[in-house]
Amino acid sequence: MKIFCVGRNYVEHIHELGNQLPENMVIFMKPNTAVHLADKPWELPNFSNEIHYECEIVLKVAKNGKNIRKEDAENYFEELGLGIDFTARDIQTKHKEKGLPWEIAKAFDHSAVVGRFIPKSSVDLSNIQFQLYQNETIVQNGNSNCMIHSFKEMISEISQFFTIESGDLIFSGTPAGVGKISSRDHYRGVLDNKELFSLKIQ
């Protein structure tokens, strides 16, 4: 299983981090050891003092494909869910300032939280509303209609460089509102009024 992530896919999030709007789709990957099922507590790592949450819609790839046309791309996933792309922001910032790769800030063990998946047929793909609750306060509120790159475009673009395979996950980017996590925090991910994960931080 591979985990693909699309970065800088919501304009307001780009602005809140002081980044520039990219000319091309930003794609990075996490190893399968990054997966963490949301029904298990999440332990704060000791290598960072600034782990940030980034809630995202996650697509589950349903079949193998390469060089997929955009008009065919929706045939390559049948389920979607919500997840958290945990980021060691302090490490990422230092590496970006030096022009160095920042995989260790994004791809560390358990950095890709995933909840349960639902059929794509149960939602309007162009208008998916989702929220992340931190201790019962909404901290992120996003909608798929605000994405720069659509699900179709993501799948098509990723498949130009990588063969996608059944079971792969695609994290589709995060809206504004990212922030630091703390011990004993509780996070809930809600998509179209359905709770898809509940996660406790240790």
Residues whose CB falls within 8 Å of the CB of residue 180, separated by 6 or more in sequence, listed in order: 50, 51, 52, 89
Tell whether the model's pLDDT for residue 13 goes beyond 90.
no
pLDDT grade for 16, boundaries at 50, 70 and 90:
confident
As a whole number of angstroms, the distance between CA 155 and CA 119 comes to 17
Q: What predicted TM-score, i.e. pTM, was given to this entire model?
A: 0.95
- Phi (first) and psi of residue 47, to 5 degrees: -95, 0
CATH superfamily of 3-200: Fumarylacetoacetase-like, C-terminal domain (3.90.850.10)
The predicted-structure confidence for 41-97, as pLDDT tens digits, reads as follows 999 999 999 999 999 999 999 999 999 999 999 999 999 999 999 999 999 999 999
SS3 label, residue 96: helix
pLDDT in tens, 119-174: 999 999 999 999 999 999 999 999 999 999 999 999 999 999 999 999 999 999 99
Amino acid residing at 190: V
Residue 168's pLDDT is what? 98
Dihedral pair phi/psi, residue 90, rounded to 5°: -65, -40
d(C-alpha 2, C-alpha 170), whole Å: 9
* 20 pLDDT tier (thresholds 50, 70, 90): confident
